[in-house]
Amino acid sequence: MAFLLRRLVRVITVVLFVTFFSYFLLNLLPGDPVTSIAPFGTKEIKAQIRHENHLDESVPVQYFSWLKNFVHGDLGNYYTPSSSSPVSKDVKTRFPVSMQLVLYSLFLTLIVAIPLAVFTAYVAGSRTDRIINTVLFGAFSVPDFALGLVLAYIVGVKLRWLPNSGYAPFGSGLWNHAKYMILPTISLAVAQIAGFTRVLRSDMIATLQEDFITMAKSKGISGKRVLWRHALRPSSLTLLTVAGLNIGALIGGTVVIETIFQAPGLGLLLTQAIRGRQFIALQSTVAIIAIAYVLINVLIDILYSVLDPRVRSGAL
């Protein structure tokens, strides 16, 4: 109970800091924020924008009114010379697209990295192992956007197998959805696969030298079973650690990959907000992404304590 309470306090503190950071970004703008957002505005429009966003108040008041609106789902407005429209509507439709990309690439990473790691650990030191390792090392150094652009050219432009930009929702048919998601997912997954496999492989090699593995083998349990049931299980915590370390990079990668493939997720929203000087929208989207990231970390933390009782008791 005390453990949960401590965690809760910590999460709330981090969320407060993260939201304060997002709110405070607006104050970093050189010059008057309202002029930056709406350089076209008349005096009245500017005054209205200033009032709407509480920019005429003191910093603490600004923050708490921003936070209050944020919690109530009011993420501010886009401002164009002719109108203003709410940001929240866009965030709602775009969040799932980014979520899909992150989940698909995580899934692809796991289904490739785990067997690959188990296999290379099993044949560690062999020629095959060395070749796979070298390829993975190379793959680890390929930036996701570089792979994305190469794939977009080869598969999208040259071979014309898959579209190199756009998006179709899941509801429009599985293949229709998949054909837009395949290239971005692969672009994101390759470096992740390399990272996951390297760590998991080392971990498995260490585990395979443990006494309980020798024990299991001597009991006559088949090599396959030892590998998958006895050796892989203790590595689940390592997997979780790597996932935790990499999820931030994956989110950053998704944002960039979305702009390359014009997938209408939060990343494309960020790019559009930057290009259009929509700093209020930018600020809210950053806050949404940051909070999502904090919550993912909380989830990983909970999984940790489920998998390893030592974490729960505070022994680690």
Question: How far is 96 from 85, CA to CA, in rounded Å?
Answer: 20
Q: Which of 71, 157, 159, 174 binds other proteins (CB under 8 A)?
A: 157
Minimum distance, C-beta of residue 239 to other proteins, in the bound complex (Å): 12
Residues 246, 192 contacting (CB under 8 angstroms): yes
Closer Cβ to other proteins, 26 or 55, answer by number: 26
- Range in contact with other proteins (rule: CB under 8 A) among 75-83, 109-117, 179-187, 236-244: 236-244
Write out the binding residues for other proteins, residues 96-125 only, by CB under 8 A: 121, 124-125
**In the chain, count of helices (H) and strands (E)?**
14, 2
Residues 93, 266 contacting (CB under 8 angstroms): no
Q: Which of 58, 82, 83, 209 binds other proteins (CB under 8 A)?
A: 209
Spell out the SS3 assignment of 87-123: HHHHHHHHHHHHHHHHHHHHHHHHHHHHHHHHHHHHC
SS3 call for 78? strand
* Binding of residue 41 to other proteins (CB under 8 A): no
Q: Which of 4, 12, 17, 223 binds other proteins (CB under 8 A)?
A: 17
Burial of 228 (0-12, 13-18, 19+ CB in 10 A): middle
Burial of 296 (0-12, 13-18, 19+ CB in 10 A): middle
Q: Tokens 């969040």: give the residue.
A: 95
The 127-146 contact track toward other proteins, x by CB under 8 A, reads ----------xx-xxxx-xx
Write out the binding residues for other proteins, residues 245-284 only, by CB under 8 A: 245, 248-249, 251-253, 255-256, 259-260, 267, 270-271, 274-275, 277, 279, 282-283
* Binding of residue 293 to other proteins (CB under 8 A): yes
Closer Cβ to other proteins, 17 or 170, answer by number: 17
- Containing 206, the helix (H) or strand (E) segment is helix 174-208
* Binding of residue 231 to other proteins (CB under 8 A): no
Q: Which of 22, 88, 98, 197 binds other proteins (CB under 8 A)?
A: 22
* Binding of residue 153 to other proteins (CB under 8 A): yes
Residues 132, 126 contacting (CB under 8 angstroms): no
Minimum distance, C-beta of residue 290 to other proteins, in the bound complex (Å): 5
Minimum distance, C-beta of residue 175 to other proteins, in the bound complex (Å): 24
